[in-house]
Each structure stands twice: as C-alpha cells, then as structure tokens.
C-alpha cells in the first residue's frame, strides 16, 4: 500500500493516524433548525444547481422531510452506529455497494460516479458498511456548483458548494489516505 496522487476512482483506506484531518467540516456548517430549514428551501428553489447529493441517513431523511429529493442519496441504515429503519425509497432508483468503515471502495465510488452522470433519474445507494467517507468521491465526481450535504455529528448540517477550491481540499484529504488497489 502506498500514498499516491488522487486522480479519481479507486479503493482507499484511511490510516488511524490521519483521522483527525477528516473531522473538520468541508464547507459551511449550519447549526440551527431555522438556518437548516432556510438553506434547504433555498436549494430546493434553485434550478441552477446541477446535482444535490445527500450523504447519511439523517441528512437524507432531513432533505426528504423538507420536500427536497436529492439527485443522489447515500445511506447505510445506521446513525451513530445504531441501526435505523430504511427510508422510503419510492422516489429513487435503488443501488447497493459495499464500503467498510474507514475506506472508500472502488465499488462504492463507481456507483457514485454512475449515479452522478445520469441527470434524469434520482438514485439511492444503500451501503453495506459505512458511508461517512463517501462524501469525498461525491464531491470529487459532482459537477461544479452542485451541493453535497452531510451531517456533522452532534453539530449540524454541512452544505458543500462544489467548486475548484473544495475539490482541491478533497484532493488534499484523499492524499492522506492509502490507495489499496493498483488500478
């Protein structure tokens, strides 16, 4: 296993000693219910946003309860390591992928890439394992000006506006990971 430049799809593992770098929000953190409700309303009204992507069960449920159906939802049916019921997936094309904790698998990354490249279908990817780090390939693959939303545990909702700077930040974070495949 070796550190490599991140040029896209692959499988990666997050070494224990690098995990602190991943605890800081990638972009704007919204804490209050009022702020969160307002930003979700603004996103729902903005037809110029190419893709809206939610990562996490709580985040996806929050979007759905605010009448915002993401273009891609990534869930694992767990919230803070506790099993939760499956969301209503009738609005989505259902896909599955394996992604163990502290990793990004090639399989999960491929499903994210495929879902983002299709513009007329909304996808839900059910992860067997853990979805937390899948924010990174979601941002990496998302078109500029897309929104990637995820929860910051016990703090609030992070709304990432995908731009070149955020993609560079994701690239820097992924360089702290170890590539576990050679393709």
pLDDT (average), residues 148-156: 94
Say what the pLDDT of residue 147 is: 98
In the prediction, which pLDDT does 7 show? 56
Q: Is 79 exposed, middle or buried (0-12, 13-18, 19+ CB in 10 A)?
A: middle
Q: Are 86 and 60 in contact (CB under 8 A)?
A: no
At 14-25, the pLDDT tens digits run 999 998 888 899
* Distance separating alpha carbons of residues 52 and 73, to the nearest angstrom: 9
Closest of 55, 50, 67 to residue 25, by C-alpha: 55
Domain ranges in the chain are 28-179
Using one digit for the tens of pLDDT, what is the confidence trace for 89-121?
788 999 999 999 999 999 999 999 999 999 999
* Pairing between β-strand 156-161 and β-strand 123-129 as defined by DSSP bridges: unpaired
């Amino acid at each position: 296993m070796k550190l490599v430049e991140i040029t896209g799809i692959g499988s990666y593992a997050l070494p224990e000693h690098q995990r602190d770098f991943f605890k800081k929000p990638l972009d704007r953190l919204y804490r209050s219910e009022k702020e969160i409700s307002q930003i979700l309303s603004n996103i729902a009204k903005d037809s110029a946003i190419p893709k809206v992507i939610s990562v996490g069960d709580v985040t996806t449920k929050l979007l759905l309860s605010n009448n915002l159906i993401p273009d891609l939802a990534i869930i694992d049916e767990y919230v803070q390591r506790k099993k939760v019921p499956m969301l209503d997936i009738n609005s989505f094309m259902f896909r599955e992928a394996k992604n163990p904790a502290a990793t990004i698998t090639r399989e999960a990354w491929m499903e994210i890439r495929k879902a983002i490249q299709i513009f007329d279908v909304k996808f839900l990817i059910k992860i067997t394992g853990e979805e937390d780090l899948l924010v990174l390939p979601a941002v990496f693959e998302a078109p500029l000006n897309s929104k990637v939303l995820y929860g910051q545990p016990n703090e609030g909702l992070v709304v990432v506006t995908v731009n070149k700077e955020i993609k560079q930040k994701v690239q820097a974070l992924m360089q702290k990971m170890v590539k576990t495949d050679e393709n």
